[in-house]
Amino acid sequence: MPAEASSAVLAVEGLSKRFGGVVAVDDCSFEIERGSVVGIIGPNGSGKSTLFNLLTSVLRPDAGVVRYRGERIEGLPLYQIARQGIGRTYQSVKIFRDLSVWMNLEIAAMGRGRSDWEVPARQWLERFGLTHLVNDTSDTLSIGQQRLLELAMNLAMSPDLLLLDEPLAGVNPVVRDTIADAVAALRREGKTFLIIEHHMNFVMRLCDKIVVMDHGEKIAEGVPEAIRRDERVINALLGKGTTRA
Ligand SMILES: Nc1ncnc2c1ncn2[C@@H]1O[C@H](COP(=O)(O)OP(=O)(O)O)[C@@H](O)[C@H]1O
Ligand SMILES: [Mg+2]
């Protein structure tokens, strides 16, 4: 199907990345429909974060094509990816720890060339319970608050597509619910998400589709109910201690 005829906001075709002898991402293809939440699960080391790095030009693919709204974006400079409306968070939170919460939001806005971010930034801080911390140095925040700040740094810029790399890692159940509620509300507004996460309850409840990776390969793709029953998926996840609770 030609890209123009597809309703996919993101289309990945034959994406591959090798580090020396390790094939971190191996001929990976899938599509993400506009307004959907797609989960990526798989054991540690299966290539999930590398896939995100390829989609956001932190790394250049060895092979493959990435189309965003029908246009090729693989290998574009990082800032251009962000300015086209693709946001992301990192498995280890990426904020400026020596700077205040508000300065982090300012820097995020500068990076994306935005001037209309202050009102939404304040709204997201309020919604995430961070307003009283706005002038605090970011390294005094808990891990959950840091994840919420990194999320607010993205959301204040109104991305169309948001990639979240293990947003629940190290966060308490209250923050977990805050993040799940935000994703659900934004999906209702038509935003699109790609989320790497080990918490199966979160993934099963929120995702329209799940992509499963193992050793760099996509081993399954489908609705949560089908993925839950897929023998190859069960073996890949059970073998390596992924959280199933
Ligand atoms: N920058 C890098 N240099 C060398 N090897 C890497 C690099 N990033 C990831 N890898 C390797 O690629 C594989 C996939 O890693 P990663 O994408 O982080 O997996 P996941 O996010 O699924 O845990 C692992 O074997 C990892 O050690
Ligand atoms: Mg990872």
Ligand 1 centroid from CA 19, angstroms? 8
Percent of all residues in the chain with a pLDDT value above 70, rounded to a whole number: 95
For 34-69, write each residue's pLDDT tens digit.
Answer: 999 999 999 999 999 999 999 999 999 999 999 999
Name the residue ranges covered by the structural domains of the chain: 3-85+159-238
Ligand 1 nearest atom to the CA of residue 47, by list position = 17
pLDDT band with cut points at 50, 70 and 90 for residue 240: low
pLDDT band with cut points at 50, 70 and 90 for residue 237: confident
Please give the full DSSP string across the chain, using - where no structure is assigned.
--GGG--EEEEEEEEEEEETTEEEEEEEEEEEETT-EEEEE--TTSSHHHHHHHHTTSS--SEEEEEETTEE-TT--HHHHHHTTEEE--SS----TTSBHHHHHHHHHHHHT-SS-HHHHHHHHHHTT-GGGTTSBGGGS-HHHHHHHHHHHHHTT--SEEEEESTTTT--HHHHHHHHHHHHHHHHTT-EEEEE---HHHHHHH-SEEEEEETTEEEEEE-HHHHHH-HHHHHHHHTTT----
Ligand 1 nearest atom to the CA of residue 49, by list position = 21
Ligand 1 centroid from CA 47, angstroms? 6
Ligand 1 nearest atom to the CA of residue 91, by list position = 21
Taking CA atoms only, the protein residue closest to ligand 1 atom 24 is 45
Q: Which residues line ligand 1 (CB under 6 A)?
A: 19, 22, 24, 42, 44-50
Instruction: Assign domain 3-85+159-238 to its CATH architecture.
Output: 3-Layer(aba) Sandwich (3.40)
